[in-house]
């Protein structure tokens, strides 16, 4: 019995061992970590019309963006202001436009009229746009539609003065005239500005109660305010307050090298003047004229997008990423710090450095006198009618009254080509 029991136990033990040997140990299944395929490379053409003083900064921003988005290549091209407008329109009609341009707000008028730029609402939602001042967005609206995203706010003119020559800025134009004549001696020019550019003329026209477009966006030149403005600026030349001839480079160069005491120029120039003059740079609103404010045009610089981008999802996403990066709060802070450009971002505008910095405070004071530059397509008619007639008056070839009539006729003819009158 005992022997049989041991035999049975032995058989059971052997069976158990065989079964155990036959079982396979379940090993963990090797998994391959799933990773998203990198995005396909995208190249965006980017055109801008900034001044030379910010070339390096813009290239730095582009390099930083490309580091963050290595699959996106930005190809930047610089144009002068009018050349960019013309080239973009020509390229768009030939289906060869750059994906993104950075331009003044009034380009929104002709670009939207030609249907060559995309409504911003097709790229960005209200949550994104809520970070910007309404006042910064407004100048890029035409017909209630927003056509550009601003990375700064201002683009406005102001009085810039050399403190070593002008310790205290004049508050009225009467004071400026007296001061300028006293300083002008053959070596020093007391006052200068871009005499024949209508953008500088708009502030004077505003001070006399006029504006280039009425409430219906129709150009307005054949009126007493326009005649009075032209008479006033022609008188500055006749009195010797300004040089006989002076364009942008004339005023800019003279101020930078210390031979011109006061000029009218825009916020885009502040960085270069701070570098050239250091603590001698002073900033103030342009003096009043007969008690009325010099009403300079205000806006900013805006990223606008080719309509063709909407047809390419990869490019659309790349454009959204690029504009989001270039208009971000930290980038606007750098524009503020390095170039004294006032921000379009509400949070950045709360930076206490604006109130404590005399340059920025002066720029803000000038901005308060401004009026938004119209973006309607008819503004192009106004510019093109205004410029040659202003030139004619300053050259002594036209009377202000004749120039007013001629400017109105030219603008009216242009409006007919737009189909808006």
Specify the CATH number for the domain of residue 67.
3.40.190.10
185 and 107 in a single domain? The answer is: no
Mark the ranges of the chain whose per-residue pLDDT is less than 50.
1-33, 420-421
Q: Are residues 366 and 378 in the same domain?
A: no
Looking at the structure, tell me whether residues 79 and 188 fall in a common domain: no
Helix (H, G, I), strand (E, B) or coil at 374: coil
Claim to verify: residue 280 and residue 408 sit in the same structural domain: yes
**Each residue's pLDDT tens digit, 248-285:** 999 999 999 999 999 999 999 999 999 999 999 999 99
Is residue 178 domain-shared with residue 137, that is, in the same domain? no
**Judgement on whether residues 123 and 248 belong to the same structural domain of the protein:** no
pTM of the model: 0.77
User: Position of tokens 């045009």?
Assistant: 297
pLDDT on residue 71: 97
Q: How many domains does the chain have?
A: 2
Domain residues for the domain of 194 are 157-297+373-418
Q: Is residue 32 part of a domain?
A: no
User: For position 7, what pLDDT does the model report?
Assistant: 43
In a domain, 12, yes or no: no
d(CA 370, CA 379) in angstroms, rounded, equals 17
- Read off the pLDDT of residues 17-61 as tens digits, 9 standing for 90 and up: 434 444 444 444 444 445 567 789 999 999 999 888 899 999 999
The verdict on 84 and 198 lying in the same domain is no
Please check whether residues 76 and 224 belong to one and the same domain.
no
Helix, strand, coil percent values for the chain (each to nearest 5):
50, 15, 35
Go through 372-381 and write b for each residue having 16 or more CB atoms within 10 A of its CB, e for each that does not.
bbbbbbbbbb
196, 314: one domain: no
CA 52-353-367 angle, 5° bins: 65
| Whole-angstrom distance, CA of residue 125 vs CA of residue 315 | 18
């Amino acid at each position: 019995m005992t022997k049989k029991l041991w035999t049975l136990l032995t058989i059971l033990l052997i069976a158990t061992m065989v079964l155990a040997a036959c079982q396979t140990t379940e090993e963990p299944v090797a998994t391959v970590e799933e990773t998203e395929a990198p995005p396909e490379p995208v190249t965006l053409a980017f055109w801008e019309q900034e001044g030379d003083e910010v070339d390096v900064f813009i290239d730095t921003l582009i390099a930083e963006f490309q580091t963050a988005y290595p699959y996106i290549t930005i190809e930047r091209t610089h144009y002068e202001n009018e050349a960019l407008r013309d080239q973009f329109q020509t390229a768009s009609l030939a289906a060869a436009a750059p994906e993104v341009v950075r331009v003044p707000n009034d380009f929104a008028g002709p670009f939207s009229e030609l249907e060559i730029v995309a409504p911003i609402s097709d790229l960005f939602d209200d949550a994104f746009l809520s970070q910007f001042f309404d006042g910064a967005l407004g100048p890029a609206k035409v017909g209630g539609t927003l056509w550009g995203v601003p990375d700064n706010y201002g683009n406005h003119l102001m009085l810039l003065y050399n403190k070593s020559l002008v310790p205290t800025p004049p508050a009225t134009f009467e004071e400026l005239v007296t001061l300028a004549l006293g300083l002008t001696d053959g070596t020093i020019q007391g006052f200068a500005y871009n005499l024949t550019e209508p953008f500088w003329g708009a502030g004077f026209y505003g001070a006399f109660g006029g504006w280039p477009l009425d409430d219906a966006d129709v150009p307005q030149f054949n009126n007493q305010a326009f005649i009075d403005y032209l008479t006033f600026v022609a008188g500055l030349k006749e009195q010797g307050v300004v040089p006989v001839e002076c364009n942008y480079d004339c005023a800019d160069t003279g101020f930078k090298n210390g031979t011109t005491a006061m000029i009218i120029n825009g916020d885009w120039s502040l960085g270069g003047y701070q570098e050239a003059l250091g603590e001698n740079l002073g900033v103030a609103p342009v003096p009043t004229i007969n008690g009325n404010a010099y009403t300079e045009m205000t806006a900013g610089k805006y990223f606008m997008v080719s309509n063709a981008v909407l047809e390419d999802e990869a490019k659309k996403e790349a454009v959204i990423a690029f504009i989001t990066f270039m208009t971000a709060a930290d980038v606007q802070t750098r524009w503020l710090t390095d170039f004294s450009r006032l921000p379009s971002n509400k949070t950045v505008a709360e930076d206490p450095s604006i109130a404590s910095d005399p340059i920025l405070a002066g720029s803000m004071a000038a901005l308060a006198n401004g009026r938004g530059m119209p973006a309607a397509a008819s503004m192009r008619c106004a510019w093109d009618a205004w410029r040659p007639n202003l030139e004619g008056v300053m050259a002594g070839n036209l009377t202000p009254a004749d120039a007013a009539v001629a400017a109105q006729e030219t603008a009216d003819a242009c409006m007919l080509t737009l189909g808006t009158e």
